[in-house]
Structure formats: structure tokens, C-alpha cells
């Protein structure tokens, strides 16, 4: 199947717009008029276009009946590449708006379009079944609720079918619990007055969103080592944002080990490296054909420059790169020197309570010559002889509180495994 038929989708989007204007007018003028409009209006619609929605335009939603909608998570404003290509999306997020007085049954057909991926962007999965084994659920937040509930879908080929009794109000549905640009800005704002935090603006994204660096340490004048934490290079990986928040909140907590860490290290935290991709509902890149900022370019372009400058200024002795892969059952512990990694997993064993076991990949020797671009961990090892690790913490089976606690535990465990330093770090 190709992209949704544009005329139909346009008609639908205009319908929603007109309806919205009618409601607004009715609200401002006359209550009985509003009641009359509601009686003829369709009770349920799909809302997209908000911060972090995917698809990000009504053209990515097709109404197939009064209460039946087909959602296309790989709809993009222009043809995308890699994970932004048709059939390769790693993002989903929309709202079901029930303007009526009673709950309404809604049929949602989430069409991941696996077979429509262009040949050069073919999904790198053994089969459509494997591809959909990561996409056979959504998370849902009911009106006025704070919690995300996992709902299993019925999968046929690459379509996930969810039937929902939508209460009056807005029910939000995502693949994973979202963490959008607004949440990131709110988190940064919450730290501005903290005596142990310096909030620095390091630049702007191509669409003029803020790029921040949080510097966290105590007032001791002793020389300190530098500790870099980078989050959310990949927009769909909202777990990395929650894990980062858990780390920062713990560093600023009353815990004795947190106080000890702030005496020994200055922490440099990049809380959201790709705000455009996060806001615009992308999976991996800064734009449909944009950059993958997980790589550090030795000759950076304008997109990568502020991030590279911040990392070069931090000159990290230790660096954490936060990600979340799709895999339901394994956490990733990637690139940590084996002698430290062995200590680390004693402090943070498999999180069996969330159904997770570690997948461990030890670092490979650095290539003798620096390539044009490198992952954070090899870049920091080559240029600063840093101890580095990439974590992958997938969602399935974890709440947002669990994910914050997981981040906190990972940071605590890495600090514990470095202190006292093993005889041989490598």
C-alpha cells in the first residue's frame, strides 16, 4: 500500500478544521448553538500535529468510517530516508478526541507499511513478523490520567489493530510513553534556580529550538573529572529522556553517593540532542532527509557543530550515551571495558523484574585512523581516553517511574564500578 490518498486526507483535515472553528465560534457566542453543532458533529476524531505527534499532519490519517481510522506512522512531510522512509518508522503518537457525552467505540488500524519501504531503505528485519513483534502493542493514556497503559494489538501482516472504548475527552496513544520538546523545556526550566546546576544554551537546532547543556557539580574547588551524559539523539527513544531525568534527579538528591559523585566529577548533561526530530514526530533523524546526530563529525556541519563543541569542551573522562532499542526482552550494555563491565553487572544485574536480561557487546579496538564520523563512545575514547558506555533501555514492561529508576541505577552502578578504580581500567 502506498501513502494515503491525499484528496481524501485533505478533505478530512479540512473537515476537522471547519468543525474546530464552528466549536470555537459556538463557545464564544451561544451555548444552545454549541449544543446544536455537537448533535450533528461526528463524535470522534483523530488529532495530530501537536508536539511529538506521529504522523505529524492530518494527511497521515485516513478516516474509513464513522469510528474507523487508518493511521500511517511513516507519513512524512516530504519523502524520508532510513527510519523516516515509508515502512520504516519507529515513531507513533496521536490523540483520539471524543467530543460526545458518552464513550465511543473506535477502530484504529495502525498501518506500519512494512512492504512499502523503498528497496534502498528496506527494513533490516528477517521478516514482517519480526518487524511487527516489536509493534504489536501501543500505550494509551485516558483523559485526565497520568499513567500509560499498555494495550496489545491484533496484528495482520504489518497492520496493528486496536479497538478502543474512548471516553469523552482526549485519549492519547503512542508506541511508547512520549517525552516531547515541551517536557524537556519544562525539565530544564525546573533546574535553573538550583544552586548546583548551571544551565547553558549551546546553540539552536535547524528549526531554532533550544540546545541545552546542564553542568552539575558541587562548590568544592578541588580538581574534578568530567562526566558526560548525552540523551535523545534519536527522537523515538523517549526512554533515554526518562533515564536521563532519573540520573539528574538522583545527582541532586540527598543520597550520600550522589554527594560523593558531585565532589569527584563535574557532570555535563545534554538533555535533548535532537529537539526537531522529537517535536516533528521523527524516528531517528533531524528532518525526513536530515542528520543522524548520534555520530560526531570531525568536520561538523551547522547541525552537528554545537553538539560537537559541547562535547569537546567537556573533554569527558567518562561518557554515557543513552538510547532505547525496540527489543522487548534485553537491555543493551555496549562498549564498556570488560574489567569495568564485570563490576558494573554486579551492581546492576539483569533487571528480571522487568523481563530484561543484558545483551553485552564489548568494545572493539579503535581503528588506527579516525574516520569522518564516529559514535560518541569511540570518539570520546579516541580523543579523551574516556571510559564510555552506551545503554539501551527498551520500554516494554517498564513505567515512566521504572525508567527513571533504571537510569538512576545505571549511573549509580557505573560510578560504583569505577570507584575504587580497578587496577587495570582496560
- # of chain residues touching Zn ion (CB under 5 A): 3
Is 174 near Zn ion (CB under 5 A)?
A: no
Q: Which stretch binds Zn ion (CB under 5 A): 147-155, 176-184, 237-245, 383-391?
A: 237-245
Query: Of 116 and 237, which CB lies nearer to Zn ion in the complex structure?
Result: 237
Q: Which stretch binds Zn ion (CB under 5 A): 63-71, 185-193, 230-238, 313-321?
A: 230-238
Least distance from Zn ion to the Cβ atom of residue 91, Å: 12
Query: Of 62 and 323, which CB lies nearer to Zn ion in the complex structure?
Result: 323
**CB of 235 closer than 8 Å to CB of 274:** yes
Binding mask 181-220 for Zn ion (x = CB under 5 A): ----------------------------------------
55: cis peptide before it, omega within 30°? Answer: yes
Query: Of 234 and 377, which CB lies nearer to Zn ion in the complex structure?
Result: 234
Least distance from Zn ion to the Cβ atom of residue 121, Å: 17
Least distance from Zn ion to the Cβ atom of residue 235, Å: 9
Query: Of 87 and 283, which CB lies nearer to Zn ion in the complex structure?
Result: 283
Query: Of 235 and 246, which CB lies nearer to Zn ion in the complex structure?
Result: 235
Binding mask 375-414 for Zn ion (x = CB under 5 A): ----------------------------------------
User: 3-class secondary structure for the chain?
Assistant: CCCCCHHHHHHHHHHHHHHHHHHHHHHHHCHHHHHHHHHHCCCEEEECCCCCCECCCHHHEEEEECCEEEECCCCCCCCCCHHHCCCCCCCCEEEEEECCCCCEEEEEEEECCHHHCCHHHCCCCCCHHHHHHCCCEEEEECCCCCCCEEEECEEECCEEEEEEEECCEEEEEECCCCCCHHHHHHHHHHHCCCCCEEEEEEEECCCCCEEEEEEECCCCCCCCEEEEEEECCCCCCHHHHHHHHHHHHHHCCCCHHHHHHHHHEEEEEECCCCHHHHHCCCCCCCCCCCCCCCEEECCCCCCCHHHHHHHHHHCCCEEEEEECCCCCCEEEEECCCHHHHHHHHHHCCCCHHHCCEEEEECCCCCCCCCCCEEEHHHHHHHHHCCEEEEEECCCCCCCHHHHHHHHHHHHHHHHHHHCCCCCCCC
Query: Of 141 and 234, which CB lies nearer to Zn ion in the complex structure?
Result: 234
Q: Which stretch binds Zn ion (CB under 5 A): 6-14, 69-77, 320-328, 402-410?
A: 320-328
Angstrom distances, CA of residue 16 to CA of 5, 93, 97, 202: 17, 18, 11, 39
**CB of 212 closer than 8 Å to CB of 200:** yes
Least distance from Zn ion to the Cβ atom of residue 416, Å: 25
Residue with cell string 496521536:
94
Q: Which stretch binds Zn ion (CB under 5 A): 7-15, 221-229, 266-274, 317-325?
A: 317-325
Give me Rg for the CA atoms of the chain: 23
Least distance from Zn ion to the Cβ atom of residue 198, Å: 27
Least distance from Zn ion to the Cβ atom of residue 123, Å: 16
Is 230 near Zn ion (CB under 5 A)?
A: no
Query: Of 69 and 358, which CB lies nearer to Zn ion in the complex structure?
Result: 358
Is 234 near Zn ion (CB under 5 A)?
A: yes
Is 323 near Zn ion (CB under 5 A)?
A: yes
Least distance from Zn ion to the Cβ atom of residue 322, Å: 9
Q: Which stretch binds Zn ion (CB under 5 A): 99-107, 110-118, 229-237, 256-264?
A: 229-237
Query: Of 76 and 234, which CB lies nearer to Zn ion in the complex structure?
Result: 234
Q: Which stretch binds Zn ion (CB under 5 A): 70-78, 168-176, 234-242, 254-262?
A: 234-242
Query: Of 237 and 402, which CB lies nearer to Zn ion in the complex structure?
Result: 237
Q: Which positions lie near Zn ion, rule CB under 5 A? A: 234, 237, 323
Amino acid at each position: 500500500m502506498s501513502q494515503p490518498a491525499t484528496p481524501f486526507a485533505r478533505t478530512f483535515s479540512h473537515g476537522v478544521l471547519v468543525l474546530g472553528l464552528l466549536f470555537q465560534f459556538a463557545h464564544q457566542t451561544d451555548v444552545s448553538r454549541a449544543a446544536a453543532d455537537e448533535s450533528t458533529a461526528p463524535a470522534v476524531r483523530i488529532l495530530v500535529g501537536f508536539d511529538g505527534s506521529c504522523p505529524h499532519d492530518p494527511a497521515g490519517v485516513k478516516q474509513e468510517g464513522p469510528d474507523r481510522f487508518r493511521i500511517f506512522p511513516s507519513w512524512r512531510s516530504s519523502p524520508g530516508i532510513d527510519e523516516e522512509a515509508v515502512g520504516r518508522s519507529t515513531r507513533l503518537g496521536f490523540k483520539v478526541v471524543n467530543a460526545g457525552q458518552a464513550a465511543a467505540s473506535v477502530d484504529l488500524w495502525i498501518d506500519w507499511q512494512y512492504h512499502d519501504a523503498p528497496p534502498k531503505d528496506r527494513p533490516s528485519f528477517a521478516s514482517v513478523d519480526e518487524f511487527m513483534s516489536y509493534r504489536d502493542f501501543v500505550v494509551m493514556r485516558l483523559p485526565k490520567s497520568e499513567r500509560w497503559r499498555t494495550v496489545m494489538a491484533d496484528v495482520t501482516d504489518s497492520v496493528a489493530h486496536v479497538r478502543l472504548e474512548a471516553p469523552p475527552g482526549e485519549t492519547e496513544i503512542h508506541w511508547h510513553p512520549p517525552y516531547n520538546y515541551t517536557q524537556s523545556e519544562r525539565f530544564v526550566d525546573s533546574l535553573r534556580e538550583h544552586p548546583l546546576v548551571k544551565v547553558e544554551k549551546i546553540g539552536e537546532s535547524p528549526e531554532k529550538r533550544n540546545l541545552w547543556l546542564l553542568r552539575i557539580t558541587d562548590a568544592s574547588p578541588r580538581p574534578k573529572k568530567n562526566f558526560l551524559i548525552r540523551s535523545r539523539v534519536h527522537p523515538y527513544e523517549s526512554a533515554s529522556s526518562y533515564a536521563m531525568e532519573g540520573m539528574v534527579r538522583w545527582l541532586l538528591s540527598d543520597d550520600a553517593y550522589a554527594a560523593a559523585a558531585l565532589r569527584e566529577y563535574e557532570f555535563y548533561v545534554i538533555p535533548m540532542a535532537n529537539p526537531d526530530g522529537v517535536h516533528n514526530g521523527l524516528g531517528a533523524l533531524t528532518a525526513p532527509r536530515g542528520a543522524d546526530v548520534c555520530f560526531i563529525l570531525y568536520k561538523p556541519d551547522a547541525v552537528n557543530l554545537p553538539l560537537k563543541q559541547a562535547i569537546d569542551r567537556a573533554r569527558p573522562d567518562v561518557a554515557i550515551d543513552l538510547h532505547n532499542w525496540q527489543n522487548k526482552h534485553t537491555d543493551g550494555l555496549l562498549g564498556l571495558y570488560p574489567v569495568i563491565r564485570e563490576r558494573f553487572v554486579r551492581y546492576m544485574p539483569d533487571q528480571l523484574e522487568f523481563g530484561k536480561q543484558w545483551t553485552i557487546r564489548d568494545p572493539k579496538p579503535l581503528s588506527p585512523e579516525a574516520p569522518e564520523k564516529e559514535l560518541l563512545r569511540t570518539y570520546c575514547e579516541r580523543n579523551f581516553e574516556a571510559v564510555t558506555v552506551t545503554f539501551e533501555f527498551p520500554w516494554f514492561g517498564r513505567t515512566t517511574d521504572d525508567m527513571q529508576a533504571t537510569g538512576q541505577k545505571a549511573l549509580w552502578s557505573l560510578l560504583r564500578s569505577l570507584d575504587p578504580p580497578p587496577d587495570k581500567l582496560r
